[in-house]
Homo-oligomer: A and B are copies of this chain.
Amino acid sequence: MDAATPADLIVTHCTALLHADPDESDPQRAADGIHFRPDTALVVRDGVLVDVVDSAAVADLECRERIDARGLVALPGLVNCHTHSPMVALRGLVEDLPEQEWFNDWIWPIESNLTPRVVALGARLACAEMIRGGVTCFADHYFAMDTVADAVAETGLRANLGEAFFSSQGPEGRERSLDFALRRDKSAGGRITTSLAPHAPYTVTDDDLAITAELARENGLLVHLHAAENRAQTDISLDRHGRTPIGVLQDAGLLDVDVLIAHGTGILDRDLPALSAATGRVGVASAPRGYLKFGWDTTPVRALVDAGVHVGLATDGAASNNTLDVWEAMTLTALVQKQTERDPRWLTARQALRHATLDSARAVGLGAHVGSLAPGR
């Protein structure tokens, strides 16, 4: 602890949510990955947490601002690891329809007519909604992403942003995605990172996916895409190509770079060896509310965790999920997982907190920087 100069901020007497050390011996604690440390002090210098200690240890430490947080819990910011922020403009527009009809007859015709002005307003509104809900970092996969990047820069949030593309746009779509990723990476004082954002294996060709993997490797970028969104997609992929969507990603080399897969409710047991053997970091973003809304299966969280995949929590866009509330994603993940696994001990409240913080941060490639209350973050 550097006591020579005053700290910028000291929070005392809080109960701090801490992530278990890997060598934690209590098996229950290790399984949940979270514990709560009472009467704790957090010391901040230059915008970085430098110490997590007993409140008594900082009693005499000089600081510019001191907050007595008795009775309060200190949490790391939540990470929403897959959304389409401008879609808040479409919230509540159409309900109670099957996903194909919902998308093809309503959402897509409107989306393809959105103006940059609506995208900008939507992104700002989404940022406000996420800030209110305790989200400090999100991953976004949409169009007109310069507009979203501007909103992130303005609001002070952290985000990983990807400009979506389809192969139907020709090479220009892919090139715009790369151009955006290279131009805005590490911008907004480092708060913005970027990804390459092919839409999905069913809208992007195998060749384009393979080129994307190459570009990701060359430029050290994350790839963020939808894959195996539901069981029907997986079945169609098997019928048409004899491969699951995860098999398509593997063949394209996308499991050898860092990849963030949205949804994955159609991931099968046969996909698990490929995910386990991935040489890149694999994250899966699970947004359980929309899956219920469309009557889908949910993400196989337990199998993915066992396979070494980082499962992060997400809200998807507000058109399908209705809110950008990661607390709700935690609640629904815990409840739906319990019912799906027929096991009330899985997934626990503490596991849900871990998925929405450190696991989500890892899924978006920021696990070394955010997602837990630890010195240096």
Q: Which residues of A contact B (CB under 8 A)?
A: 95-99, 102, 289, 291-296, 298, 332, 335-336, 338-339, 341-345, 348-349
* Cα-based distance from A341 to B102 in the complex (angstroms): 18
30 A-B pairs (CB sep. < 8 Å): A95-B348, A95-B349, A96-B344, A96-B345, A96-B348, A97-B344, A98-B344, A98-B345, A99-B344, A102-B344, A289-B335, A291-B339, A292-B335, A292-B336, A292-B338, A292-B339, A293-B335, A293-B338, A293-B344, A294-B338, A294-B344, A295-B338, A295-B339, A295-B341, A295-B342, A295-B343, A295-B344, A296-B339, A298-B339, A332-B335
* CB proximity of A172 to chain B, nearest CB, Å: 35
* CB proximity of A301 to chain B, nearest CB, Å: 14
- Beta-carbon contact of A97 and B335 below 8 Å: no
- Beta-carbon contact of B293 and A345 below 8 Å: no
* CB proximity of A266 to chain B, nearest CB, Å: 14
Query: Given the complex, which residues of B lie within 8 Å of A296, measured CB to CB?
Result: 339
* Cα-based distance from A341 to B95 in the complex (angstroms): 16
Q: Smallest CB-CB separation from A101: which chain B residue?
A: B344
* CB proximity of A251 to chain B, nearest CB, Å: 31
Query: Given the complex, which residues of B lie within 8 Å of A336, measured CB to CB?
Result: 292
Query: Given the complex, which residues of B lie within 8 Å of A294, measured CB to CB?
Result: 338, 344
* Cα-based distance from A339 to B297 in the complex (angstroms): 7
- Beta-carbon contact of A97 and B345 below 8 Å: yes
Could you list 13 further interchain pairs (A-B, Cβ under 8 angstroms) beyond the known A295-B339, A296-B339?
Answer: A96-B344, A96-B348, A97-B345, A98-B345, A99-B344, A102-B344, A289-B335, A292-B336, A293-B344, A294-B344, A295-B338, A295-B344, A332-B335
* CB proximity of A84 to chain B, nearest CB, Å: 19
Query: Given the complex, which residues of B lie within 8 Å of A292, measured CB to CB?
Result: 335-336, 338-339
* CB proximity of A350 to chain B, nearest CB, Å: 8
* CB proximity of A372 to chain B, nearest CB, Å: 21
* CB proximity of A101 to chain B, nearest CB, Å: 9
* Cα-based distance from A360 to B341 in the complex (angstroms): 31
* Cα-based distance from A98 to B341 in the complex (angstroms): 12
Query: Given the complex, which residues of B lie within 8 Å of A348, measured CB to CB?
Result: 95-96
